[in-house]
Structure 1
Amino acid sequence: MTPGSNVPLSVPRVAVDVAASSARLDVSGLLLTGDGKVRSDDDFVFYNQPQGPGVSHRSGGGSGPDSITVDTAAVPAGIEKVVVTASLDGGGPFAGTTPTATVRSADDGSVIATFTPTGLGPETALVVVEVYRRGGAWKVRAVGQGYANGLGGIASDFGVNVEEPAAPAAPAPAAAFAPPPAPGLPSAPPPSGAPAAYLPPPPSAPPAAPPAPAPGAGKVNLDKGRVNLRKNETVSLVKAGKPFLSSVRMGLGWEPAFGGRDIDLDASVIAYGPQRNHIATCYFGKLSILNGAVQHSGDNLTGAGSGDDETITVHLGGLPPEVTGLVFTVNSYSGQKFNKVAKAYCRLLDAGTGEELVRFDLTGSEPRTGVLMAKLIKQFSGEWEMTAMGDFIDSRTAKGMVRPASAAL
């Protein structure tokens, strides 16, 4: 297909795969009415909201392309078209990348049409194709329209409201981690209907007194924009009560203390299961884990230069379901202590748009060689929460952080 051309659909259910040989793509679909707008945010189908009326999202899982399936018989009567969009996993422009959309029968996989937009440059998101109805029949049209302001720009253009006032806060759902049983006592079975990760205290164990809140303890959200966290403070990665992130990037930076020499610090992320069991570690020696769902930018040996020294991108929707916690750590591989480090920070960005969401500036460094910077924990609701940590450990390597990080979840 060429831009603007269309092909009639001979089957009621079609799947649109979008792939690029040189990069992984995030794909989404928007259901639009005759005025070119969504009816509500429920018409935005993507990683964190994979089901819509007549439209669904399927993850490629790191080994294949993401796909949007349109069941034309189930699309509501008021919807005139479904647009399929793509952006680079991890953000950045499409320059040098050649995405291809393949429209297939969702039932037998036969190819109906293909479309490859060309001449891409600074665009960070694309409307690739649209599946639309005309005169009672359904067709697919090649579009290839680029946006310079990422998937957020497309969503806003089509009426997705990410700035609406937040709904009243509901009680925070339990995190998807099981508290360890009391030493020497077996854990009781969960009550009927309880989540599998729920382990109530043994009947003989006296109830523990609630701990005193630590400095900065509390929970905030992103409804008003970027958040500056204090130690032990938590931010919910939702906006207006709905998950809105499919990929996040953790940037970590540092500088030598005044008059000090260059310092080789290493950023890592450690993945855990619901029983605090270690699953995998992403670090300078293993730059990609969990089928590409977590990717490291590579080793920075000095900390020289402004901005992030090392980054780790996490494709939240691509994480295996058994991953319920991530801990971001920094170690001094050369053995210098953190009191010789200045301006250490971590920040969380929307990997699709590059927008900075959360920042935690580490102060009060200690003469130790490792620090637990922050943790991401998946709630039973499916939402992710980030908590600033700033806990110092004696370890020069990520391997030595696995046990203390597990205990801190």
Structure 2
Amino acid sequence: MTPGSNMPLSVARVTVDVTAPVRLDVSGLLLTADGKVRSDEDFVFYNQPQGPGVTHRAATAGSPDSIIIDTAAVPAEIEKIVVTASPDAPGATFAGTEPTATVRGAEDGAVLATFTPPRLDTETALVVVEVYRRAGAWKVRAVGQGYANGLAGIATDFGVSVDEQPAQPAAAAVTAPPVPAAPPAAPAPGKVNLDKGRVSLRKNETVSLVKGGRPLTHSVRMGLGWEPAYGSRAIDLDASVIAYGPDRNMIDACYFGRLMILNGTVQHSGDNLTGEGSGDDETITVHLGGLPPEVTGLVFTVSSFNGQRFTEVAKAYCRLIDDRTGEELVRFDLTGSEPKTGVLMCKFIRQYSGEWEMTAMGEYVQSRSVRDLVKPAAAAL
């Protein structure tokens, strides 16, 4: 799963494991429609392991800290259960640590979904996933929202009473570490759709390719453009798109040497050797409704065939265009540059509902051809 994506749960009882190279404290909070707990009893963690329909299972030598959710036993007024994690070591952050949530069927252990929140840094606690009720059915959503003030910051945000003193082992009340002065880390930017016209994205922002309540299923065109930086010579960059399956396995790649893939549902305009001239330098057309069902992700990339670095490039951008009308739908202008030879510009992710989401990336990598981009693009999905 990717941040913001969701999928329905096929079983009533699920276990959410959260693993990392370090020991974690995992908890669950039962929230009503106003996004708050009803009382401190709705905060389920190591010191209070039982709640209505929700159980905390402490880590053992063979299993990680987990939250077990029996959706059939969750009270009717509870609309979601958020699963959180924080490093067990005092003051530790998630910098250099990649936690992964695995949602399993509680009865058979079958994996239903996995999610690894991207780009963590100084966060000391994290809302990892949420299991929520929608129209009588239960779903899971990948969240990945970080907090700089630990589990106490999450708890107070959701209405739990937090003691100012450290918890004592025999305490009956719900307690958590003292709240530092630092505010919560900013949440990931909200997801928007195309209803209000053209969307301008910044790095890591996401737009749902939905207009008027309907997912786009016709052809769209990804235009990629660049100009040589002032004083630089002409630069030969190559646009490409790599198609992946649900396990981040590469299915095919479309680039100047392979102008059509996937039975013609993805087509490349051809190679631009200089980057000169206004407008898009290379375009890639994608018929969203015709893509094979095994294609769940597309990563659009640009690489420097002659090894010139992106510090020699100006005004690099990508823009999504409605191929029927020529209307520009989404634009991402790449700001800043790094002395590397490739960049992951944006990605499309197919949601369980069938709609596609586009996320601006702007991640620089070392590459001179599409072959060099396959692994870093897969890791970025």
TM range (shorter): 0.5 to 0.7
Query: TM-score by structure 2 length?
Result: 0.55
User: How much does 1:353 deviate?
Assistant: 1.3
- Is the alpha carbon distance of 1:199 and 1:359 closer, same or farther for their aligned partners in structure 2, counting shifts above 3 Å? closer
SS at match of 1:389: strand
The one-character-per-residue Cα deviations of 1:137-158 (angstroms, maximum 9, x if unpaired) are xxxxxxxxxxxxxxxxxxxxxx
User: How much does 1:263 deviate?
Assistant: 0.2
Task: Give yes or no for contact 2:103–2:112 (8 Å, CA) kept in 1.
Answer: no
Task: Give yes or no for contact 1:216–1:230 (8 Å, CA) kept in 2.
Answer: no
Q: Distance in 1 between matches of 2:267 and 2:329?
A: 19
Query: Which residue is equivalent to 2:250?
Result: 278
SS at match of 1:403: helix
Query: Which residue is equivalent to 2:268?
Result: 296
Q: Distance in 2 between matches of 1:305 and 1:180?
A: 50
Amino acid at match of 2:205: E
Amino acid at match of 1:307: G
Residue of structure 2 aligned with 1:374, choices 346, 350, 356: 346
2:42 is aligned with 1:174: no
Amino acid at match of 2:288: L
Query: Which residue is equivalent to 1:198?
Result: 113
Q: Distance in 2 between matches of 1:224 and 1:347?
A: 16
Q: Which 5+ residue runs of structure 1 have no aligned equivalent?
A: 1-170
Residue of structure 2 aligned with 1:315, choices 271, 287, 296: 287
Amino acid at match of 1:404: P
Q: Distance in 1 between matches of 2:18 and 2:199?
A: 31
Task: Give yes or no for contact 1:197–1:274 (8 Å, CA) kept in 2.
Answer: no
User: How much does 1:363 deviate?
Assistant: 0.7
Question: Sequence identity of aligned pairs in percent?
Answer: 67
Query: Which residue is equivalent to 2:231?
Result: 259
The one-character-per-residue Cα deviations of 1:145-198 (angstroms, maximum 9, x if unpaired) are xxxxxxxxxxxxxxxxxxxxxxxxxx954279xx99878989775468999862
Residue of structure 2 aligned with 1:384, choices 356, 361, 365: 356
Q: Distance in 2 between matches of 1:250 and 1:265?
A: 15
The one-character-per-residue Cα deviations of 1:27-51 (angstroms, maximum 9, x if unpaired) are xxxxxxxxxxxxxxxxxxxxxxxxx
2:240 is aligned with 1:268: yes
Amino acid at match of 1:327: V
Q: Distance in 2 between matches of 1:328 and 1:362?
A: 13
Query: Which residue is equivalent to 1:46?
Result: none
The one-character-per-residue Cα deviations of 1:62-95 (angstroms, maximum 9, x if unpaired) are xxxxxxxxxxxxxxxxxxxxxxxxxxxxxxxxxx
Q: Distance in 1 between matches of 2:335 and 2:245?
A: 30
Task: Give yes or no for contact 2:145–2:187 (8 Å, CA) kept in 1.
Answer: no
User: How much does 1:227 deviate?
Assistant: 0.7
Q: Residues 38-53 of structure 1: matches in 2 within 5 Å?
A: none
- Is the alpha carbon distance of 1:385 and 1:195 closer, same or farther for their aligned partners in structure 2, counting shifts above 3 Å? farther
User: How much does 1:218 deviate?
Assistant: 2.9
User: How much does 1:211 deviate?
Assistant: 4.7
User: How much does 1:367 deviate?
Assistant: 0.6
Q: Distance in 1 between matches of 2:307 and 2:264?
A: 30
Amino acid at match of 1:361: D
Amino acid at match of 1:355: E
Task: Give yes or no for contact 1:249–1:312 (8 Å, CA) kept in 2.
Answer: yes
Query: TM-score by structure 1 length?
Result: 0.52
The one-character-per-residue Cα deviations of 1:80-135 (angstroms, maximum 9, x if unpaired) are xxxxxxxxxxxxxxxxxxxxxxxxxxxxxxxxxxxxxxxxxxxxxxxxxxxxxxxx
Query: Which residue is equivalent to 1:404?
Result: 376
Query: Which residue is equivalent to 2:175?
Result: none
Q: Distance in 2 between matches of 1:344 and 1:316?
A: 24
Q: Distance in 2 between matches of 1:214 and 1:231?
A: 14
- Is the alpha carbon distance of 1:337 and 1:173 closer, same or farther for their aligned partners in structure 2, counting shifts above 3 Å? closer
Q: How many residues are treated as equivalent by the alignment?
A: 233
Q: Distance in 1 between matches of 2:320 and 2:308?
A: 26
2:320 is aligned with 1:348: yes
- Is the alpha carbon distance of 1:286 and 1:180 closer, same or farther for their aligned partners in structure 2, counting shifts above 3 Å? farther
2:302 is aligned with 1:330: yes
Query: Which residue is equivalent to 1:97?
Result: none
Amino acid at match of 2:346: A
Question: Which stretch shifts more, 242-251 or 372-381?
Answer: 242-251
User: How much does 1:241 deviate?
Assistant: 2.0
Query: Which residue is equivalent to 1:98?
Result: none
SS at match of 2:284: strand
User: How much does 1:383 deviate?
Assistant: 0.5
